[in-house]
Every structure is written in structure tokens, then in C-alpha cells.
Amino acid sequence: MSGSSEPVRVDTEKLRAAERKLLELTNHVRSAAERFQSDSESYGDVIGDDKNGKKFHGQFDGPHQDAVSAGLDAAKLAERTTGEVGQLVRALENVEQHSTETGRRLTARNSDG
């Protein structure tokens, strides 16, 4: 829109609503990951010390720990994303406010002159 005199508008209310939804999602993901971790730890070492138990543990433990880490990492990523959306909204609101104030000053100057 080069050369257009139309103002660019961003609906920050919709972005704030998205931020709230992301926060809800973040809380659900974190809760699920922490519960999975807690439930897994509560079972203790129920696999057994025999040859088959050790073999099963060797095959199970790595992927299990990866799943726990993936859930916790997903929660951290969602939390960071939510924070970044919040920062974006604040920045856009500041730009809009500054732009409005500048427009008013320029309009006042043009009408005085």
C-alpha cells in the first residue's frame, strides 16, 4: 500500500484474546506434562531386576524420559510464545498511540497554518 493515506490498523483486542487462549493452552500443557512426570515417578521401579526387566527398562526408559522432556519443553515454548504475543500487543498499542498523537499534532499544525 505504498503511498496510501489510509492508516494501518491492528485489532489488538483480538490479539489479546489470542494471548489469553495461548495462556490457557500453556497451563494445560504444563499441567499435563507435570502430571505425566509425577505419575511416572510415583510408579517407581516396578519393572524388576531380572534379565527381562532390565531389558525392558533399557528399551523403555529413554523414550519415556524423552516424552517427559518433550511435554515440559512444549510448555516452556508455549509460555515463551505467549509472552512474545503479549510484547507484540504492547508494542503495537504503543505504535498506534504514538501514530495517533503524531497525526493530531500534524493536523493541528495544518489547520493553524
Cell numbers given for 38: 509425577
What pLDDT, on the 0 to 100 scale, is given for residue 21?
Answer: 95
The residue segments making up the domain with residue 29 are 12-44+68-112
Tens of pLDDT, residues 24-56? 999 999 999 999 999 988 876 667 778 887 888
Tens of pLDDT, residues 62-111? 998 999 999 999 999 999 999 999 999 999 999 888 888 888 888 888 77
Q: How many domains does the chain have?
A: 1
Q: Is residue 100 part of a domain?
A: yes
Q: Is residue 81 part of a domain?
A: yes
Q: Is residue 34 part of a domain?
A: yes
Q: Is residue 63 part of a domain?
A: no
Greater pLDDT, 59 or 4: 59
What pLDDT, on the 0 to 100 scale, is given for residue 1?
Answer: 45
Q: What burial letters (b/e) apply to 92-109, b meaning 16+ CB within 10 Å?
A: beeeeeeeeeeeeeeeee
**Full-prediction pTM beyond 0.85?**
no
> What does pLDDT average to over the chain?
86
CB 47 within 8 A of CB 56: yes
What pLDDT, on the 0 to 100 scale, is given for residue 56?
Answer: 82
For residue 93, the 8-state DSSP code is H
Q: Is residue 7 part of a domain?
A: no
Q: Is residue 75 part of a domain?
A: yes
Q: Is residue 3 part of a domain?
A: no
